């Protein structure tokens, strides 16, 4: 089925990481511009902060600040107005987790490493009920190699970070089930959705070999498709932004492909839920730099923060 909605904003520089705000505005990162931007219901855009690198995923913390997964920057190609990432930026030095004060725009870097291991390309983030957050590190793609990724857990005060799953091949979206007991992770290049039982803050249960990453396979799409970020519905369904075909794939927690909502372009990268009933889906259409708003058939999950 085709998404029914309207373009809320245009001219964004590869938007991602949407956050629906209580006043009806939506925060998005602009990866290609290295900034966090607020989009108002009338389409007006206001820069909140210049963060540099490649801000990729974003989430509101319990403290009211915005937490950013910064992938360190991409190189880009544009064809007839369509922009896409092609690899690492020439000035790439590594990734980071950043905190942004939405009142002042001040940017603080919380993490660049986990112990001695550098963060390569932090991608997506979700807070739990304990005041910490899970995030994916996509790894990094170069012309001749791909760095494998990981799933991390960290405290929002910068005091603690731990690796919870490794290696994961291009982990992208991350989300928690409504009861907080299951963590979902989408892999881009395999178009596979994985789940892990949450045993405690920073601790995941792992499947034995031959699971390549310790996760349980929820679903893997056939053919050439790619997964991006994800959001969870109030009823527990997992909504995964799907590249190439372009749209949102909806899976049950048991692994059934329930629906596919076709988007206006192939680079449909992320989704969040907002509005008074959380039945408005805000979707980033990144190739042409658009934020799309559509009525969703069910309510999205109320996020912890």
Mean pLDDT of the chain: 97
Dist. CA 127–CA 153, nearest whole Å: 9
Pairwise CA distance, residues 266 & 246, whole Å: 4
pLDDT above 90 for 302: yes
Q: Report pLDDT digits (tens) over 216-274.
A: 999 999 999 999 999 999 999 999 999 999 999 999 999 999 999 999 999 999 999 99
User: What is the C-alpha separation between 78 and 96, in angstroms, rounded?
Assistant: 26
Radius of gyration in angstroms for the set of CA atoms belonging to the chain, rounded to a whole number:
17
Does position 32 have pLDDT exceeding 80, yes or no? yes
Structural tokens at position 60: 């509101």
pLDDT of res. 103? 96
Tell me the pairing of strands 66-70 and 35-39: unpaired
Is the model's pTM score more than 0.85?
yes
Q: Please write down the HEC assignment for all residues of the chain.
A: CECCEEEEECCCCCEEEEEECCCCCEEEEECCCCEEEEECCCCCEEEEEECCCCEEEEEECCCCCEEEEECCCEEEEEECCEEEEEEECCCCCCCEEEEECCCCCCEEEEECEECCEECCCEEEEEECCCCEEEEEECCEECCCCEECEEEEEEECCCCCEEEEEEEECCEEEEEECCCCCEEEEEECCCCEEEEEEEEECCEECCCCCCCCCCCEEEEECCCCCEEEEEEEECCCCEEEEEECCCEEEEECCCCCEEEEEECCCCCEEEEEEECCCCCEEEEEECCCCEEEEEECCCCECCCCC
Give residue limits of the domains in the chain.
13-222
Parallel, antiparallel, or unpaired: how do β-strands 96-100 and 117-118 relate?
Answer: unpaired
Question: Would you state the pLDDT for residue 243?
Answer: 98
In the predicted structure, residue 94 carries a pLDDT above the cut 80: yes
CATH of domain 13-222: 2.120.10.30
User: What is the C-alpha separation between 92 and 50, in angstroms, rounded?
Assistant: 17
Q: Give residue 304's pLDDT.
A: 77
Percent of the chain, pLDDT > 70? 100
Q: What is the mean pLDDT of residues 142-171?
A: 97
């Amino acid at each position: 089925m085709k998404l029914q909605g309207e373009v809320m904003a245009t001219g964004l520089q590869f938007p991602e990481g949407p956050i629906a705000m209580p006043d009806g505005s939506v925060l998005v990162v602009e990866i290609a511009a290295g900034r966090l931007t607020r989009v108002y219901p009338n389409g007006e855009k206001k820069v909140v902060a210049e963060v540099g690198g490649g801000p990729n995923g974003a989430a509101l913390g319990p403290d009211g600040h915005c937490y950013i997964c910064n992938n360190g920057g991409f190189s880009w190609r544009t064809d007839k107005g369509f922009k896409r990432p092609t690899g690492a930026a020439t000035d790439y030095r590594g990734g980071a987790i950043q905190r942004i004060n939405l009142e002042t725009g001040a940017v603080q870097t919380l993490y660049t490493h986990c112990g001695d291991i550098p963060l390569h390309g932090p991608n997506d983030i979700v807070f739990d009920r304990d005041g910490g957050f899970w995030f994916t590190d996509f790894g990094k793609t170069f012309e001749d190699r791909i760095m494998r990724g990981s799933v991390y857990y960290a405290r929002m005060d910068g005091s603690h970070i731990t690796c919870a799953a490794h290696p994961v091949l291009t982990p992208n979206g991350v989300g928690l089930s409504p009861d907080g007991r299951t963590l979902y992770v989408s892999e881009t290049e395999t178009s596979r959705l994985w789940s892990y039982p949450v045993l405690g803050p920073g601790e995941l249960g792992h499947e034995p070999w031959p699971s390549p990453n310790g996760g349980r396979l929820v679903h893997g799409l056939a053919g050439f498709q790619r997964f991006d970020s994800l959001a969870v519905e109030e009823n527990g369904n997992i909504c995964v932004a799907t590249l190439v075909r372009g749209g949102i794939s909806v899976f049950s927690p048991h692994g059934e492909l329930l629906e596919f909502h076709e988007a206006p372009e192939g680079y449909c990268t992320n989704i969040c839920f907002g509005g008074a009933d959380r039945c408005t889906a805000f979707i980033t259409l990144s190739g042409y730099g658009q934020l799309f708003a559509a009525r969703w058939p069910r309510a999205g999950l109320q996020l912890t923060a």
